[in-house]
């Protein structure tokens, strides 16, 4: 695609100096670091046009499915604004290059953009005003609020024909958000470091991973596991992403069973479940298999470090692959492995959406249509998702994503009527098994490093808080 030629020229010098923000989500997402300075563009006055219904359904309803790119809404002349967290792509020209290509098809739709560094907090503040523009990446809000702020793209069943993760921002059977890229969950690692350590086979269990980390410590100068403790968002948002099918083999566990489980943090005795997940981190810290001083980790610096073989592995979503490859002269040494937990002989990886495009319910009709045209073009034609190495969003656009040797699944959505129950449990228990749970995972590092608490004591406290929240919210315990 033309975009790839433009990007190849514009990013050669810039990629090593800028970064992608991580993500997550899932339902839980993932809160991102300040990975660049804010790039701001002033919003021009919107040019109103006559009502345009070309591309709408027979009853005039605007939907994603009804838009034929290059044909629908070509007579609209207007200006739309998109706010986002991708400050690095704002600065290195990637976003400008995509908009330039979009304007070859829709020359009369002007797209203004603003990259926001502290996106999660800033976007929530702007959202409350209603006057933030036309497209934003949806921040952490209750699903019950979706129709207050955004318009639907269509029914979830209809959107499922076009995109992956159509149910991520679903309410009342409608899809309100479309991800710009997807993430698979695993371990980022340096192939050469593992080879130099004598680790010939990738670990598939917690014990095998700890043994591999010890081999790296014994046989190389690399840091076996880099925690990225100081960044904060690299803690809860990343480790919590493995809850669910990856650690249990059950796609319904995270969003349907977790809140109804009496002891979700108990030791299953077979290296599976939440207990086994977080114990990997505790054991790695307790056994000195991390950086010398976890309080001084450097998110930007770690990219070149793993590229250059100074780090063995890091817990990050697949969104980070492109960043680490671009950070030095050894891109081919960057690998990605399934998380080392095996359930009944099978390893799992969940794939989920990163931030999702949402369209302002308060925008004019023309701007809503122009915004939906732009979102559809970004998803299906821009090539951005594949350029970032993302798990595919469009079910029709080309993709080069490959993740072998693992069963890729998607955690099933919450049951009807319980869409916000996990968020309520997170808040009531103050544990936050989502992007806001960084402190609880940092606490594991602190306890392991100082010996202030055993791992079992931490899990007992989590269980007590979880059970108290279940009681306070009158949640039925079924498992």
Annotated domain spans of the chain: 2-181+354-405, 185-352
* Percent of all residues in the chain with a pLDDT value above 90, rounded to a whole number: 73
Is the whole model's pTM more than 0.85, yes or no?
no
Candidates 2.40.30.110, 3.40.190.10, 1.20.1560.10, 1.25.40.340; correct CATH number of 185-352? Answer: 3.40.190.10
Q: What span, in angstroms and rounded, lies between the C-alpha atoms of 307 and 192?
A: 10
Candidates 3.30.530.20, 1.10.486.10, 3.40.190.10, 2.60.120.430; correct CATH number of 2-181+354-405? Answer: 3.40.190.10
- Taking Cα atoms as reference points, which of 441, 443, 447 lies closest to residue 31? 441
> Residue 351's pLDDT band (boundaries 50, 70, 90)?
confident
Any idea which of 29-43, 67-81, 173-187, 262-276 has the lowest mean pLDDT? 29-43
C-alpha count within 13 angstroms, C-beta hemisphere, residue 429? 26
Q: Is the pLDDT of residue 12 over 50?
A: no
Q: Report in angstroms the alpha-carbon separations of 479 from 189, 249, 258, 264.
A: 36, 16, 9, 9
C-alpha count within 13 angstroms, C-beta hemisphere, residue 236? 23
Give exposure, 304-334, as e/b (b: 16+ Cβ within 10 Å): bbbbbbbbbbbbbbbbbbbbbbbbbebeebb
**Quick one: tokens of 5?**
């030629």
**Quick one: tokens of 92?**
């290195």
pLDDT of residue 436: 63
Q: Which residue has the tokens 């891109």?
A: 331
Q: 349: which DSSP letter? A: E
Q: What span, in angstroms and rounded, lies between the C-alpha atoms of 203 and 108?
A: 53
Q: Is the pLDDT of residue 176 over 70?
A: yes
Two domains, one topology: 2-181+354-405 and 185-352: yes
Asked if residues 30 and 243 have their Cβ atoms less than 8 Å apart, the reply is no
Q: What span, in angstroms and rounded, lies between the C-alpha atoms of 171 and 138?
A: 14
Asked if residues 150 and 138 have their Cβ atoms less than 8 Å apart, the reply is yes
Q: Is the pLDDT of residue 53 over 70?
A: no
Q: Is the pLDDT of residue 57 over 60?
A: no
- Taking Cα atoms as reference points, which of 29, 461, 422, 458 lies closest to residue 261? 422
pLDDT of residue 390: 86
Mean pLDDT of 88-117: 96
> Residue 46's pLDDT band (boundaries 50, 70, 90)?
very low
Tell me the helices (H) and strands (E) count for the chain, helix number first. Answer: 18, 15
Q: What span, in angstroms and rounded, lies between the C-alpha atoms of 26 and 34?
A: 20
* Percent of all residues in the chain with a pLDDT value above 70, rounded to a whole number: 87
> Residue 59's pLDDT band (boundaries 50, 70, 90)?
low
Mean pLDDT of 185-205: 96
Any idea which of 70-79, 350-359, 369-378, 454-463 has the lowest mean pLDDT? 350-359
Which helix (H) or strand (E) element contains residue 426?
Answer: helix 421-429
Asked if residues 470 and 259 have their Cβ atoms less than 8 Å apart, the reply is yes
Q: What span, in angstroms and rounded, lies between the C-alpha atoms of 130 and 249?
A: 41
pLDDT of residue 221: 98
The phi, psi pair for 341, rounded to 5°, reads: -130, 130
Q: What span, in angstroms and rounded, lies between the C-alpha atoms of 476 and 120?
A: 32
Q: Is the pLDDT of residue 115 over 50?
A: yes
Asked if residues 376 and 64 have their Cβ atoms less than 8 Å apart, the reply is yes
Tell me what the pLDDT averaged over the chain comes to: 87
SS3 label, residue 187:
strand
Any idea which of 192-196, 326-330, 359-363, 386-390 has the lowest mean pLDDT? 386-390
Asked if residues 376 and 227 have their Cβ atoms less than 8 Å apart, the reply is no
Q: What pLDDT, in 10s, does the model give residues 429-464?
A: 999 886 567 899 999 999 999 999 999 999 999 999
pLDDT of residue 55: 54
pLDDT of residue 281: 98
Mean pLDDT of 302-314: 98
**Quick one: tokens of 237?**
């948002």
Tell which wins on pLDDT, 444 or 388.
444
Q: What span, in angstroms and rounded, lies between the C-alpha atoms of 102 and 234?
A: 34
Q: What pLDDT, in 10s, does the model give residues 120-161?
A: 899 999 998 888 999 999 999 999 999 999 999 999 999 999
Any idea which of 11-20, 260-269, 331-340 has the lowest mean pLDDT? 11-20
pLDDT of residue 60: 65
Which helix (H) or strand (E) element contains residue 311?
Answer: strand 311-317
Q: Is the pLDDT of residue 25 over 70?
A: no
């Amino acid at each position: 695609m033309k975009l790839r030629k433009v990007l190849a020229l514009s990013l050669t010098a810039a990629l090593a100096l800028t970064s992608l923000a991580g993500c997550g989500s899932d339902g839980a997402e993932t809160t991102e670091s300040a990975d660049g300075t804010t790039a701001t563009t002033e919003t021009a006055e919107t040019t109103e046009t006559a009502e345009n219904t070309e591309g709408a359904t027979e009853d005039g309803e605007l939907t994603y499915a009804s838009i034929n790119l290059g044909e629908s809404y070509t007579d609209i002349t207007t200006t739309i604004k998109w706010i986002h967290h991708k400050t690095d792509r704002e600065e290195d020209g990637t976003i400008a290059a995509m908009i330039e290509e979009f304007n070859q098809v829709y020359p009369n739709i002007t797209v203004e953009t603003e990259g926001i560094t502290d996106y999660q907090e800033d976007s929530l503040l702007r959202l409350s005003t209603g006057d933030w523009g036309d497209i934003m990446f949806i921040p952490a809000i209750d699903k019950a609020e979706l129709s207050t702020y955004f318009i639907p793209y269509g029914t979830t069943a209809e959107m499922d024909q076009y995109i992956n993760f159509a149910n991520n921002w679903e309410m009342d059977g409608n899809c309100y958000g479309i991800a710009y890229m997807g993430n698979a969950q695993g371990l980022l690692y340096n192939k050469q470091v593992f080879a130099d350590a004598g680790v010939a086979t990738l670990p598939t269990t917690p014990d095998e991973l700890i043994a591999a980390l010890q081999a790296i410590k014994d046989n190389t100068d690399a840091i076996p596991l880099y925690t990225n403790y100081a960044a904060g968002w690299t803690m809860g948002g990343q480790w919590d992403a493995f809850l669910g099918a990856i650690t249990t083999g059950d796609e319904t566990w995270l969003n349907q069973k977790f809140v109804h489980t009496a002891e979700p943090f108990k030791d299953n005795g077979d290296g599976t479940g939440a207990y086994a997940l977080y114990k990997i981190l505790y054991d790695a810290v307790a056994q000195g298999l991390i950086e010398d001083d976890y309080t001084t980790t450097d998110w930007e610096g770690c990219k070149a470090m793993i590229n250059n073989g100074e780090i063995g592995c890091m817990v990050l979503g697949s969104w980070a692959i492109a960043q680490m490859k671009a950070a030095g002269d050894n891109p081919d040494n960057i690998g990605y492995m399934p998380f080392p937990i095996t359930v009944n002989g099978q390893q799992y990886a969940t794939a989920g959406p990163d931030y999702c495009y949402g369209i302002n319910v308060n925008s004019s009709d023309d701007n809503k249509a122009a915004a939906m045209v732009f979102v559809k073009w970004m998803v299906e034609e821009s090539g951005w998702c594949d350029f970032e190495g993302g798990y595919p969003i469009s079910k029709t656009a080309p993709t080069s994503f490959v993740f072998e040797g693992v069963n890729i699944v998607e955690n099933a959505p919450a049951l009807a009527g319980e869409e916000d129950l996990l968020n309520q449990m997170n808040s009531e228990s103050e544990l936050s098994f989502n992007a806001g749970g960084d402190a609880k995972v940092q606490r594991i590092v602190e306890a392991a490093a100082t010996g202030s608490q055993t791992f079992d004591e931490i899990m007992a406290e989590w269980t007590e808080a979880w059970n108290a929240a279940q009681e306070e919210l009158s949640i039925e315990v079924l498992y």
